[in-house]
Amino acid sequence: MKQNESLELRCEMATMHDFFLNKINESIEGKLYFEASWLIYSCLENRFFRVLDKYKRECKYCTKGGKCRKGSNQLALSTQVSCVERLYKENVSCISDSFPGEIFDEVRAWVKSRNRLMHNLLSLEDYEDHFDNDFKELALSGKIIVEDAYDACTKFREAFFQPDYKFVFPESCMEECPCKSHQKKEES
């Protein structure tokens, strides 16, 4: 497969990602766990979107104006994770050889914990009893997950862009794409 972005743009993006990974570390070191959690979530969204963005053009439903077709990162993280996981389960080698199988459940569990904490943020009892410790645990566990996600995404990109690699989008995965239901709504 051929790279979509120029080398210059990819280098700028790598610099940006290094900046934010360093910000996560600085936030944790400075005990700014709330900030670290927001940055971790954003990095996870970006990593899964960047994977999805490489192959979504191969999906017959994404190419017809579905929500996956949008060029910017507007998909829910859970949708992105599910899409990558479907390819993992179908043993698409650029995914299954790159991602550890447990990462999908780990990301979902981490996001669920993060969302619970965010929704309860302005609850006085939660603030008094758990705020600092819960966000500390969230940030520390999220840091590990985001590092694993970066490693997996790097392996994926290396496999995906091998000169002899041909990505084949399994029909069964296309049939599970959320864009399929979006397309049916438009046709009604």
Q: What is the pLDDT of residue 94?
A: 96
Q: Counting every residue, how long is the chain?
A: 188
Q: Which residue has the tokens 């899409």?
A: 83
Q: Which of 102, 106, 100, 101 is nearest to 155 (CA)?
A: 100
Distances (CA, A) of 77 to 66, 98, 108, 137, 155: 16, 19, 9, 21, 20
- Read off the pLDDT of residues 61-119 as tens digits, 9 standing for 90 and up: 876 666 665 555 667 899 899 999 999 999 999 999 999 999 999 999 999 999 988 88
72 touches 95 (CB < 8 A): no
Cα separation, 143 vs 21, in Å, equals 9
Express as a percent the part of the chain with pLDDT over 90: 55
